[in-house]
Amino acid sequence: MSNALRILHLEDNGNDAELVRIILEKDLVDVELDHVSTKKAFEKALQEGSYDIILSDFSMPEFDGLRALDFARQLKPEVPFLFLSGTIGEERAVESLRKGAVDYVLKDRVQRLSTAILRARKEALERAERSKNELQIRQQAELLNQAQDAIYVRNIDQYITYWNKASERIYGWNSSEVIGKRACELLYGSNPSRRDHIWDAVLEKGEWVGELTQITKAGKQIHVASRRTLLRDVHGAPLAILNINTDITEKKNLESQILRSQRVDCIGAMAGGIAHDLNNVLTPILLASGILQTQLTFPNDLRMVNVVKKNAQKGADLVKQILQFASGTKPPETELDFASLLSDLTNLSFKAFPGNVKIESEVQQGLFSVSGDRTQFHQILLNLCVNARDAMPGGGKLAIKISNTIFSDRVIQGQKRPVTGNFVELAVSDTGTGIPPEIAAHIFEPFFTTKSIDKGSGLGLSTVATIVRNHQGYLELETAIGRGTTFRVFLPAADGKRSDEKNNVFMNPAGCGQGQGILLINEEYALLEMTKELLEAHDYRVVTATGGFEALAQLERCQEKIAALIIDLPTPELNLGGWIDNIFKRLPNVTIICLKATDEAVHLRGEWKGRGAFLKTPCPPAELLGTLQRLLAFPPT
């Protein structure tokens, strides 16, 4: 007898079918793949053949995947059914899982197909083995109480005659409370309609498998995977129904979280697409405000320009944070000024807090130096303060304290080993309701929230925990019902380290250029003109180009006068890597500054060999001017 894994593959595209064959024969040791492309061939193969796995496309001209799934569930319910499709959407994917498919794999992620098949096969073998042993388990009732599944028996009049220990644990009723009662009255409350349909199906077909939503003794709603088998007496007459229910509440919650996570992934993908346009909006504001700061003399005018520049920079920081989230890259670190962070929060965010919440803050003098991303730490403060506000619906006191602390073998919540070192402690306290222990155990989990959908996503505290962890810090919770809550964030001292940003300072803002020629390349005319005006205001001679061909023409005309190129990516018509190599051959002493919203071009740094810099946009005028001045002061040799 062959031990090969037999797979029936329904696919109307011959090329896709051949690709799947190649992948499976490569990944799986012993596999036999039968390919069919029509409804008739599929039904015939299922009726005549024996298969371990059914693999199906979702959309086909004459036969869709859901109809194939229905037929397979009727004829071979024990055989795992998987979808492999490039067109299945979120709603249809959920519907297919509800109707009995065990998994779905997108064609653009076909590399996980073999793993999905092996897992489905393993689970099918486990189910088959469980079914084989059900009768033995029923005959040996004393062993049923060791099972993790809820197992109970109802007679033909639907009254419970057996109730195992796992049923007591899952549903909350003791055996003495349920024997002789109807299960529908206990487990379905006021909505038993589907129970009648299932009962009729079991009597007709001998079994039923599916998922149900039930309630416990405490009124809690749970999800179960239910298998119901008709038991007959020696004469073949219906005697009772055996119920085996598995609590899958956590699994269903996880599926919901995965769907929400996929939506977050889509937002991340969209962020990269809109970043360039957002930067094109913010960069002229930053450049113009930088120019105006050097030209205005009236205090009120300067104050308004400073407000515009500060808010534009905050918008730029938020864009960068979204891009870092989307790409998974680590943000650049700077030395944090906690007093400034608290001041910003007070000016921009606390004004929206209700008047019955009293806010107190204290920042210790002489804090240890801490390096990190300013925007992310602003997010930590804001999330913790918003949670404290929400915990005091009737008002109260919100206290923020930032101070130094030194640990010597300090035991930290959630850490296996004691901690030693210098830290800056951020403590956010409220006098609110406190957090019950059963909720406190889950508050840092993604998507966990006790708020309604319109008031909370369940991402605030999980984001705080992630940011703290990424900065090698620690997070503790102190709470008591009716006495309030304190979150403590411990951030490691930077040990005198200086940030890269401080090494990039603008060296001489009064007039950093000496008449050097700059070729400025930008496809956005407004940005081109604004950057040109900034550079010319600081004693540079600027030649502009809006695309690759125009830039080459400008270089041909005045290459001897060009000391540096400033390129805003993406620049049309350019193969940037080869283009830069060509420039270095023609102008060995030229400097190149590359501007880009994301890290996609960072690999070019190795090719520059110290001849240029890569700056993320929108960058402040001082950063661009300082970087240009530094590079021109030490040209490549």
> Which H or E run contains 232?
strand 221-232
Pick the closest to residue 125 from 37, 227, 230, 52 (CA basis).
52
Residue-wise DSSP of 72-106? HHHH-TTS-EEEEESS--HHHHHHHHHTT--EEEE
In angstroms, the CA 498 to CA 504 distance is 11
- The arrangement of secondary structure in 505-633, i.e. its CATH architecture, is 3-Layer(aba) Sandwich (3.40)
Lowest mean pLDDT: which of 362-366, 449-453, 461-465? Answer: 449-453
Per the structure block, which two tokens stand in for 40?
């008739």
The most confident of 166-175, 245-254, 567-576, by mean pLDDT: 166-175
pLDDT reported for residue 579? 73
Q: Is the pLDDT of residue 3 over 70?
A: yes
Pick the CATH number of 140-247 from 3.40.50.20, 3.30.450.20, 3.90.330.10, 3.40.50.1860: 3.30.450.20
pLDDT reported for residue 10? 92
Comparison of pLDDT for 142 and 501, the residue scoring more: 142
Structure confidence by residue, pLDDT tens digits, 545-566: 888 778 888 888 877 788 888 9
439: CB partners within 8 A, 6+ apart: 450
> Given this structure, which CATH class describes domain 5-130?
alpha beta
Structure confidence by residue, pLDDT tens digits, 339-364: 777 776 766 556 667 778 888 888 88
The most confident of 329-338, 393-402, 438-447, by mean pLDDT: 393-402
Lookup result for tokens 């602003």: 378
Amino acid at 343: S
Band of the pLDDT at 498, cuts 50, 70, 90?
A: very low
Q: Is the pLDDT of residue 193 over 60?
A: no
454: CB partners within 8 A, 6+ apart: none
Comparison of pLDDT for 17 and 259, the residue scoring more: 17
Q: Which residues pair with 244 in a beta bridge?
A: 151, 227
pLDDT reported for residue 599? 52
pLDDT reported for residue 496? 42
Lowest mean pLDDT: which of 235-249, 368-382, 472-486, 502-516? Answer: 502-516
Q: Is the pLDDT of residue 54 over 90?
A: yes
pLDDT reported for residue 259? 64
- C-beta separation of 614 from 604 below 8 A: yes
Lowest mean pLDDT: which of 402-416, 482-496, 583-597? Answer: 583-597
Residue-wise DSSP of 173-195? --HHHHTTSBHHHHHSTT--HHH
Tell me the pLDDT of the chain averaged across its residues: 79
Give the start-to-end residue ranges of the domains of the chain: 5-130, 140-247, 333-498, 505-633
Q: Is the pLDDT of residue 84 over 70?
A: yes
Q: Is the pLDDT of residue 509 over 50?
A: no
Band of the pLDDT at 507, cuts 50, 70, 90?
A: very low
Amino acid at 35: H
Structure confidence by residue, pLDDT tens digits, 87-119: 777 788 888 888 888 988 888 888 888 888 999
Pick the CATH number of 333-498 from 3.20.20.70, 3.20.20.60, 3.40.50.720, 3.30.565.10: 3.30.565.10
In angstroms, the CA 435 to CA 481 distance is 6
Structure confidence by residue, pLDDT tens digits, 118-130: 999 888 888 777 7
Pick the closest to residue 363 from 340, 346, 383 (CA basis).
340
**Phi, psi for residue 376 in degrees, rounded to 5:** -70, -35
**Phi, psi for residue 171 in degrees, rounded to 5:** -100, -20
Q: Do 5-130 and 140-247 show the same overall fold?
A: no
Band of the pLDDT at 300, cuts 50, 70, 90?
A: confident
Comparison of pLDDT for 611 and 273, the residue scoring more: 611
The dihedral formed by the CA atoms of 531, 568, 581 and 611, expressed in degrees to the nearest 10 = 60
In angstroms, the CA 371 to CA 505 distance is 17
Coil, helix or strand at residue 285 = helix
Mean predicted confidence (pLDDT) in 198-215: 88
